[in-house]
Structure 1
């Protein structure tokens, strides 16, 4: 079996981009299992032959969609890191980004959480991609915490707040979980704020 990775080995072609974008939309709307390759081709404006030349199987489309999501997350984290000089502000801005995601009318939950729930038991490769995504986010948070003179276990707590907010927002169809998680993150980090000594 081919080793799956969150980092594509090459840039998507226009046909691949159309296919993975259509698959992302359909998987988000209906889940992976009910969607057929014919439906993905139709949504993408491609023939079935064009689609299967780009992505021969639905599993390859699932991987491409997860790579898209991970790439979007990495770009958002990098953008936030460039914009915020204070590590604590950087962490809080991540929850601001989550709030923007949750306010999107098309938001139906995190692709990694949804994909793991739907496919993880039958496809260990997809489960491993979800695990690696969560670990990558936690590694990023660990580096931010180190810069902010906070212990590494704070990053674990922040990661749980992020994933919990993703789940709850999908269930509630609300952006409120991002705001609640942001407040909790601020309280958690405040424990390790440096205080002046007299």
Structure 2
């Protein structure tokens, strides 16, 4: 096992072979979970030889890290898009739930990779657990920043973060986008408590 502690922010760009490998691994892990998937499965799905795959990602753990980095990168890009389309930080908060609804409505959605990965691997691999914790902390930190800009107390961000993660879990169980809409309503109600009086 590598002694290098992985993080969610890549220090390099994926090569085309790495992209094919991590994309195939992402699809397979989503469909089956991590444990049943072999490197040969990933190589076949990616259209690579086993040697090409292991040159790009030597172990299944390296692929798990790469997949989580892909998911976190998509999350951060979505936040950037929401920010570009919003003039009001409250709209940005609600936009997060709009993005979740789009994710949940995708036929391939099988739940959040961080929640699934932590549930399947977190007890055996502290580094994977740490990556999930890093992502959840990033979610809450972003919501805390938006609350600050909106004049909403920081502790509200904790509740908003729970709405995000709860919606992710429930959507995977229900196979429905409805949890995102319910969570968005809850977020709007929370924000409305502090409308016009940000000092409360």
- Category of TM-score, reference length = shorter chain: over 0.9
> In structure 2, how many angstroms separate the alpha carbons of the residues matched to 1:114 and 1:37?
19
**Deviations for 1:25-66, whole angstroms, at most 9, x for unmatched residues?**
000000000000000000000000000000000000000000
User: 2-side partners of 1:97 and 1:56: how far apart?
Assistant: 33
Q: Distance in 2 between matches of 1:132 and 1:193?
A: 31
Q: CA deviation at 1:182?
A: 0.3
| Cα deviation digits, residues 136-186 of structure 1 (max 9, x gap) | 111111110001000101111100000000000000000000000000000
- Of the three residues 90, 93, 99, the one matched with 2:92 is 90
Indicate the residue corresponding to 2:82 in structure 1.
80
Summarize deviations over 1:8-33 as a string: whole Å, max 9, x none: 11000000000000000000000000
Partner of 1:32: 34
Q: Which runs of 5+ in 1 are unaligned?
A: none
Q: Where does structure 1 differ by over 3 angstroms across 4 or more consecutive aligned residues? A: none
For residues 125-146 of structure 1, the C-alpha deviation after alignment (integer angstroms, 9 at most, x for no partner) is: 0000000000011111111000
CA RMSD in angstroms comes to 0.6
Which residue of the partner structure matches residue 15 of structure 2? 13
TM-score, normalising length: structure 1 = 0.98
Structure 2 segments unaligned to the other structure (5+ residues)? none
Partner Cα separation in structure 1 for residue 30 and residue 156 of structure 2? 31
Give the 3-state SS of the residue equivalent to 1:121 in structure 2. Answer: coil
**Counterpart among 129, 133, 137 of residue 131 in structure 2:** 129
Equivalent positions of 1:33-182 (< 5 A) are 33-182=35-184
**Structure 1 counterpart of 2:4:** 2
